[in-house]
Homo-oligomer: A and B are copies of this chain.
Amino acid sequence: MTDDVLPGEDALIAKLAGMLPAPRQTRLTIGDDAAAIPLPDGNLLLVTTDLLMEDVHFRLSWGDLPALGWKALAQNLSDIAAMGGTPTHAVIAIALPPHWDPAQTTALYQGLAALASATHTDIIGGDTNCSSGPLVITPTVLGRVSPDELCTRSGARPGDALFVTGTLGRAAAGLRLLDAGQPAPPALAPAIQAQLRPQPRLEAARALATSGQVTAMMDVSDGVATDVHRLCRASRAGVVIAEDRLPIDPVVNAACQWLATAGTPANPVQLALAGGEDFELLFTAPPEAEAELRARIAPLPLTRIGSMVDPPDILLQQQTQTVPLAWGFTHF
């Protein structure tokens, strides 16, 4: 695929990357979940940054400030996990809305501090500003990985199986529930929590990376439909995904039933494929490694959702037909 047929966000990033001087002291640069820099002891330093902005990535009306701090850090930690790495340090740049109370800022930091503590990530600095309007949080997270455990997007080969950890669609269903305009029943709370406080798959990622079986890995941040395109592009491979193998979370089906009665219908397969923000791990490995990999990450579910094939096919196998898999959500 050439850059000019990429959707907006990916095309723009490819163009910007082309403007920059070629890096000299770097193992992996723009185009993976994190950059990787050689350390003097032979290990790799991982670096990733993700910006969260009010009314783009979240709404303050959701009312859970500690969750916002948590999520901002979580999605950066998920990028470190996707490389097979262990997070070590973070810096946090924030722009606080005008007239914010210090108590609101400390509430935000409670969530940051809780997740930093739980993942042994040292928050070592940052930048605190007053915003011209929206709340903005930009964490940058550093991590570490040995070169033989590094997982990139580019190693998938035809014949590999495509796997995903956990279940899909919960965070997207949670977003629809939060935006539905009326309170959802308590049974659907796990979907809302998945949207508000995603769990980065740090332990599962290490278990996979140390298996020596993973050929490519990334996290599901923009939805399997978009992210598998990125994995295929980086690996110069194709894929066939079986729609009936997608591990749609039971709460997603329940949420869709309720959303229909609330007048905001949603489709479970669409949420699972294109919803994004599940922060599960999408990875490839030889099919025969499945049992070992499942055992390594248990009790977290592992599902084989497809097979890598020769490029350029990127296909979705449905009940009665096989169709090109469209790019899902992109930011532009």
Contacts and interface: CB of A to CB of B under 8 A. Distances in A.
Interface of A: 9, 12-13, 15-16, 19-21, 23-26, 28-30, 32, 34-35, 37, 39-41, 43, 45, 47-51, 53-57, 88-89, 91-95, 102, 105-106, 109-110, 112-113, 116-117, 120, 122-134, 136, 138, 140, 142, 331-332
Given A25-B89, A40-B39, A40-B40, A50 B19 contact: no
B123 A20 contact: yes
This protein's copies in its complex? 2
B56 A131 contact: yes
Given A48-B91, A93-B50, A16 B128 contact: yes
Interface centre among A35, A50, A94, A127 (most CB of B within 10 A): A127
B30 A124 contact: yes
Contacts of A54: 132
Contacts of A55: 132-133
A81 B78 CA distance: 31
A227 to B, nearest CB: 15
Contact of A15 (B25, B102, B123, B136): B102
Contact of A126 (B30, B110, B134): B30
Given A26-B122, A40-B40, A127 B89 contact: no
Given A30-B125, A106-B19, A132 B130 contact: no
A48 B125 contact: yes
Given A37-B88, A40-B40, A53-B95, 20 more contacts: A12-B105, A15-B106, A16-B105, A16-B106, A16-B109, A30-B123, A32-B125, A37-B124, A39-B39, A47-B140, A48-B91, A49-B91, A49-B92, A50-B127, A51-B136, A53-B131, A53-B132, A56-B130, A95-B136, A136-B136
Nearest to A124: B35
A23 B53 contact: no
Q: Which of the listed residues A25, A55, A110, A117 has the most CB atoms from chain B within 10 Å of its own CB?
A: A25
Contacts of A20: 109, 112-113, 116, 123
16 contacts: A9-B128, A12-B105, A15-B102, A19-B110, A20-B112, A21-B113, A21-B117, A24-B122, A25-B88, A29-B124, A48-B125, A49-B138, A50-B127, A51-B94, A93-B138, A136-B136
Contact of A35 (B19, B50, B57, B91): B91
A97 to B, nearest CB: 11
Nearest to A93: B51
A34 B332 CA distance: 34
Nearest to A47: B91
Contacts of A24: 120, 122
Contact of A113 (B19, B30, B88, B134): B19
Q: Please indicate which of the listed interface residues A102, A105, A109, A136 has the most CB atoms of chain B within 10 Å of its own CB.
A: A136
Nearest to A134: B132
A53 B136 contact: yes
Nearest to A133: B133
